[in-house]
Amino acid sequence: TVKWYRRQSGKEIAMLKGYTFFLCDSRNKSTDVYTCTVGRKCKARFVVTKDREFLKSCYTVHEHPPPKHIIRNDTIFSTSRSGYPVLTHAGFRYNLATRSDGPAKRWVCARKTSKCRAIAITIDKTVIRLKNEHNHDPKLINTYDKPVYGETKNGIPVLMIGAYRYNMHTSSKGPKVRWYCTRYAYGCRSSVMTYDSVIIRHKADHTH
């Protein structure tokens, strides 16, 4: 199963079998081509339909180990380019505190030098305490907001993810439901697929 995330720069990446992929070619009207983020040295790639429902082809033979990151409960554990541990949660980045011995790890906001006092405490890659008092906006586009289901005044089902609202597709029946951004008529192609109210696919390419 392919999962979709956004990096700190805002660029979307796909994750498949523990490896990350960038969008390489979107010129085809019906499919997109994703290639391994390592670059030309790795030939791994896959082709997916524009709505991201079906993999048309997939070559996942990598000649290198997967990136050192873990995604758990909306929190990303990874390493910086220099090899230092990094935690990303709700769009904010944290660095591992120098004095973090033992199972409990203390993380401080990457903007600590700008007097940001936000911290996080984790045990076994799970956040057990979060002091989310930042004095700045997140750099990462947040794609991990919890979905909120509701209805319009006319009783039409809607889905809210962060600041964006989605309408249920009229052809959706059964537990599997497709949602489209309310700005679809204006060219926004962001969409969501849910199964029993659980998000199984999220294309967060908003144009607004």
Structure tokens belonging to residue 121? 């405490």
What is the C-alpha to C-alpha distance for residues 117 and 102, in angstroms, rounded to an integer?
22
Q: Are 47 and 32 in contact (CB under 8 A)?
A: yes
137-171 per-position pLDDT tens digit: 766 434 445 677 777 777 788 888 766 788 998 88
Confirm if 21 and 38 have CB atoms less than 8 A apart: no
DSSP-assigned letter for residue 90: T
Say what the pLDDT of residue 66 is. Answer: 74
Cα separation, 203 vs 74, in Å, equals: 16
Give the global pTM: 0.42
> Is the pLDDT higher at 61 or at 203?
61
The proportion of the chain whose per-residue pLDDT surpasses 70, expressed as a percent, equals 87
**30-79: pLDDT as tens digits:** 999 999 888 788 999 999 888 887 888 899 898 887 766 666 656 778 77
Q: What phi and psi, each to the nearest 5 degrees, are found at residue 178?
A: -105, 135
pLDDT at position 107 is 93
Does 8 have pLDDT greater than 60?
Answer: no
pLDDT tens for residues 117-145? 999 999 887 888 888 888 887 664 344 45
For the chain, percent of residues with pLDDT exceeding 90? 12
Which residues, other chains included, contact 75 with Cβ-Cβ below 8 Å and sequence gap of 6+?
A: 87, 88, 89, 122, 125, 127
Strands (E), the chain: 3-6, 12-16, 19-25, 31-36, 45-49, 55-59, 70-72, 75-79, 85-89, 92-96, 104-109, 119-123, 126-131, 147-151, 157-161, 164-168, 176-181, 191-195, 198-203
